[in-house]
Amino acid sequence: ERVLRKDLLVRAALTLLGEVPRRPASRGVPGSRRTQKGSGARWEKEKHEDGVKWRQLEHKGPYFAPPYEPLPDGVRFFYEGKPVRLSVAAEEVATFYGRMLGHEYTTKEVFRKNFFNDWRKEMAVEEREVIKSLDKCDFTEIHRYFVDKAAARKVLSREEKQMVTKKK
Report whether pLDDT(31) > 60: no
- Domain topology for 77-167: Arc Repressor Mutant, subunit A (1.10.10)
Query: CA-CA distance, 62 to 115, in Å (whole number)?
Result: 26
Q: What is the pLDDT of residues 145-158, one digit of tens each?
A: 999 999 998 888 88
Those residues with Cβ within 8 angstroms of residue 137's Cβ, 6 or more apart along the chain or in another chain = 77, 78, 79, 94, 131
Average pLDDT of the chain to the nearest whole number: 82
Band of pLDDT at residue 16, cut at 50, 70 and 90: low
Residue (of 105, 95, 88) closest to 143 by Cα position: 95
Q: What is the pLDDT of residues 52-100, one digit of tens each?
A: 777 788 888 898 888 999 999 999 999 999 999 999 999 999 999 999 9
What pLDDT score was predicted for residue 98? Answer: 95
Query: CA-CA distance, 95 to 120, in Å (whole number)?
Result: 14
Report whether pLDDT(1) > 70: no
CB 32 within 8 A of CB 134: no
Rounded to an integer, the average pLDDT of 120-132 is 96
CB 136 within 8 A of CB 77: no
The residue among 65 and 14 whose pLDDT is bigger is 65
CB 97 within 8 A of CB 139: yes
What pLDDT score was predicted for residue 80? Answer: 96
What pLDDT score was predicted for residue 57? Answer: 82
What pLDDT score was predicted for residue 126? Answer: 96
Beta bridge partners of residue 154, listed in sequence order: none
